Structure 1
Amino acid sequence: MEKVRFTEEKATMLATLYGRALDARSDRPVLGDKAADEAVKQIDYDFGSLGVDGQLGLTVALRAKPMDDWAAEFLREHPDATVVQLGCGMDSRVYRLDPPSSVRWFDVDYPEVVDLRGRIYPARDGYRTIGTSVTDFGWIDEIPSDKPGLVIAEGLTMYLRPSEGEELLRRLIARFPQGGEMVFDTFSRLGIKLQKLNPVVRKANATLYWGIDEISELERLGLTLVSKLDSTDYATPEVKDRLSGSLRAQLWVAGLIPAFKKMGRILRFRF
């Protein structure tokens, strides 16, 4: 068993890992992320303290699924692409998607997170980790720039300060002269203001900073929107019947109020 003592935003990645594990254990999994379930079994941590139950685990899986689907679509079109996953935490996306060895995949996170990944997850061809803060921009020079790029960031942007986030995106766009895509999720400014209502953020004593209200705020950085999902659209019709009555009611109300509807978004851009 691997002992971990993460705090603040580093602890939130254990919550999403546990959510995916709970989804994998369910009768009708959305992701079926068995690597996440196996990882949880190897980590000595009080996952119950994170406030993640089956319902929250389902929402974690529902957020990850479209990001997986968009990434898989890009890799089918570009089987020699370079993938950069920012703030990867313990996400096992590279194992879920299982890209060919012609894809160069880089997972980037703090050194202690990368160290834990190395003790839990197996090596694979074309895959490596980089242990650094994503805003210590020197690591970007390690990324090959001769192929199209796919940048993925799940549960990261809101933890960055706006100036840092914008500079990070600009530098990554510039790194890939052949272009590519970015897939990431965002919170609105209202979502940032209401962050303590998020049980995972509250229990981890983490702080969110970057709220994005309009797509144009990102397009001016050099991105072109391809697809978007508002938080009320994550659950597909066949999955909605698995949500609790209270959660379905919350989504219904949020869908009627534009400010609530766009509190959380998943976005796909071309650059």
Structure 2
Amino acid sequence: MPPDELRYEDSGARRTVFQSYAQAVDWSDRSHVDRALLVFEDLVLYGKRSGWEGTWLDELAVPLERDGLRIDERGRIAWIQPPLRVQDLSGLSDPSGILAELQRIQRDLSNDHAGAIGSAKQLIEATAKTVLRERGLPIDENAKIPALVKQAQKALALDASAITPGPDGTDAVKKILGGVAAIAVGIAELRNRGYGTGHGQASTPNGLGARHAHLAANAALTWCELMLDTLRDPEAPWRKTQAGP
């Protein structure tokens, strides 16, 4: 429910205060959104206790449902499906590409499984390009996912050839990193085989269900969290490599 949609025709003091509050909320920050929802919930509970008449509750429920929320019989507001998110995007110069793909996945998970798989692939692509941009490295807009994943992991010293001290240099961590890279490539292959949007199909794929969409979405999030956590970590191996001996 972005603040641009919260416009009122009158200029009453309470409405003006509420509009100012809504515009101050960072709607891309889950903690901000959760606090804002508590305000809406208090409004619903107050209205129900005060016996407000009319269709105000239905009118409030419609935009909330559109954003994946519902109002229960007690007036409590809850997520129908918790929003997908990565922990912290605040340090990125421009997180808009990642946020756009997260929103697409969220939108498609419940009713467009192929769309969710396609967006999961695009989330990996957006994250890899973001990492390369933040590191000041060139981005090949025509590169395929395997190449992008490899370049991004190498940029953060997360590739198998990196020689790093501590747990990052152990065989165990390198096996995990290899597996995570394979996950990212596997999502792209799943999409390319016709199970995700992005290519026109003569017929729709059979057997595609919600569990496949959730598998792709959660796997993509795992890879993206790893990359962004490592990019943000002040003690990450790539920073020591960058600094030199």
State if a TM-score over 0.5 links the two structures.
Answer: no
Select the structure that is richer in helix: 2
Q: Which TM-score applies when normalising by structure 2?
A: 0.23
Q: Which TM-score applies when normalising by structure 1?
A: 0.22
